Structure 1
Amino acid sequence: METHKKQISSFFTIPEPDSRPFKEKISEFCSTSTMHGLKIVGCHTTHIVRRILWLIAVTACFLFILTMLIVLMIKVHNPGTQTDISINTLEVGEGLQLPAITICSYNQYTLEYLKTAEGIRNWLFLSKLYPDIIPYTDFENLTGLEFNVSSYRENISNVLEVIRDASFNLTSSLKACSWNGQIQQCSSLPGTRTVFTDFGVCYSINYSNDSSYIIKVPGARQGIMIFAFDSFESYIFGENFGSLGFRILVHDPFEYPSVKQFGISVQPSIDTTIALKKNIYQFREGNGCQKRVPQLIGYKRYTENGCMAECVANCVYHKCSCKLFFQSGDYLICNSPESVQCARRSEKLCWTRRDYLQSCNCPLECEHIEYENRISIANYPSLSYKNLFSVLIPNTSLSELSRNAIKMTIYYEDLNVVTFIQSDSYTAEQIFGDIGGQMGLFLGASVLTIAEFCDFIIFALIDKIRCYFKSKKIVNIFQMS
Structure 2
Amino acid sequence: MELLQYLAFPTQMSVDIVPIRDMPFAAVTVCNANPYRKDRMNVAVEAYADEMHINLNESTPESLAFPMLVSMFNRNKSDEFEKLGFQLSDMLLTCSYNGINCASKFVHSLSAVYGNCFTFNWNISTNKVYTLADLGSTLILREGLSMTFYIPNHLSFPWMFFEDGLILFLHDNNELPYLAKNSIRLRPGLAHTITYRKSQTFFLPKPYTNCTTVVGDNLRHIYEVIYDPYLAHQVAYSEALCYELCEQAYIFSRCFCILPIPFLMRHVFSLDDNGLHFTNTCMPNTTEEECALTARQKIAENASLMAIWCSRCAPQCKHTQFSIDVSALLAPTAHQKASLKKILLENNLNLSLPNDFATNYDAYMDANYLRVTVTCASPYVTINKQKAKLTFVDTFSAIGGQTGLWIGLSTLSLMEFCELIYRLIMKQITLCRYRRNTHTEVQVISSTASTTENLPNQSQ
* TM-score, length-scaled by structure 2: 0.62
2:247 alignment partner in structure 1: 312
1:423 to 383, 387, 391: 387
- Report the CA distance between 1:457 and its aligned residue: 4.2
- Asked if residue 407 in structure 1 is aligned to residue 371 in structure 2, the reply is yes
Asked if the contact 2:36/2:115 (under 8 Å) is kept, the reply is: no
The counterpart of 1:173, out of the listed 91, 95, 98, is: 91
TM-aligned CA deviation for residue 387 of structure 1: 2.2
Counterpart AA for 1:84: V
Q: Which stretch shifts more, 189-198 or 418-427?
A: 418-427
Q: Residue 249 in 1 paired to residue 164 in 2? A: no
Q: Distance in 1 between matches of 2:69 and 2:246?
A: 32
AA aligned to 1:121 is A
Secondary structure (helix, strand or coil) at the match of 1:309 reads: helix
Residue 312 of structure 1, CA deviation: 3.1
SS at match of 1:365: coil
Partner of 1:203: 118
| 2:39 equivalent in structure 1 | 112
2: distance between equivalents of 1:123 and 1:252?
42
SS at match of 2:28: strand
Provide the rounded CA distance (Å) in 2 between the counterparts of 1:226 and 1:153.
Answer: 30
Match of 1:334 in 2: 281
SS at match of 2:244: helix
Aligned pairs, number? 361
**Cα distance between partner residues in 2 of 1:212 and 1:453:** 65
1:84-140 CA-partner distances (Å, limit 9, x unpaired)? 2140433xxxx3333332212321333232453x443348999x9xxxxxx95378x
How far the C-alpha of 1:315 sits from its partner, in A, is 3.1
Alpha carbons 2:93, 2:149 under 8 Å: kept: yes
Query: Which digits, 9 at most, give the CA deviation of each residue in 1:255-305, with x for residues without a partner?
Result: 222111111121121211222333321124567542475523125311212
The AA in structure 1 aligned to 2:329 is A
Say which one has the larger Rg: 2
313-322 vs 358-367, which moves further = 313-322
- The C-alpha deviation readout for 1:389-443, integer Å capped at 9, x for no partner, is 3245432522222222111112333434432213357889999999xxxxxxxxx
Q: Deviations over 1:65-91 (max 9, x none)?
A: xxxx99xx999979674332140433x
Q: Per-residue deviation at 1:164?
A: 2.7
Matches within 5 A, 1:394-473: 394=345, 395=357, 396-423=360-387, 453-458=409-414
In the other structure, the counterpart of 1:376 is: 327
**1:366 is matched with which residue?**
317
Q: Say if 1:250 and 1:415 are closer, same or farther in 2 by CA, change over 3 A.
A: same
Q: Distance in 2 between matches of 1:388 and 1:202?
A: 28
1:260 maps to 180
Matching of residue 101 in structure 1 with residue 28 in structure 2: yes
Amino acid at match of 2:307: Q
**Aligned equivalent of 1:227:** 148
Contact between 2:10 and 2:208, CA under 8 Å: does it hold in 1?
A: no
% same residue: 16
CA distance in 2, matches of 1:385, 1:244: 21
Equivalent in 96, 99, 107 of residue 192 of structure 1: 107
Distance 1:228 1:115 in 2: 25
TM-score w.r.t. structure 1 length? 0.60
Alignment of 1:212-223 (within 5 A): 212-215=128-131, 216=133, 221-223=142-144
Query: Matched residues in 2 for 1:287 and 1:428: separation?
Result: 13
* RMSD of aligned alpha carbons: 4.8
- In the TM superposition, residue 448 of structure 1 has moved relative to its aligned partner by 7.8
Tell me the CA shift for residue 383 of structure 1.
1.1
- Alpha-carbon deviation of 1:247? 1.7
Q: Aligned partners of 1:154, 1:190: CA distance in 2, in Å?
A: 30
Tell me what 1:442 maps to.
none
What is the CA distance between 1:458 and its match in structure 2? 4.8
Is the Cα contact below 8 Å between 2:69 and 2:81 reproduced in 1?
Answer: no
Alignment of 1:284-303 (within 5 A): 284-285=204-205, 289-291=210-212, 293=214, 295=216, 296-297=219-220, 298=223, 300-303=235-238
Deviations 1:226-277 (A, max 9, x none): 2122244544454743x43222111123222211111112112121122233
Match of 2:189 in 1: 269
CA distance in 2 between counterparts of 1:384 and 1:263 reads 31
2:443 is matched with: none
Aligned CA distance change for structure 1 residues 315 and 160 (closer, same or farther; 3 Å): farther
| Structure 2 portions without partners, runs of 5+ | 224-231, 268-277, 346-356, 423-460
Cα contact 1:196–1:202 (8 A) shared by 2 = yes
Counterpart secondary structure, 1:192: strand
Matches of 1:258 and 1:313, distance apart in 2:
16
User: Residue 384 of structure 1: CA displacement?
Assistant: 0.9
Offset at 1:382? 0.8
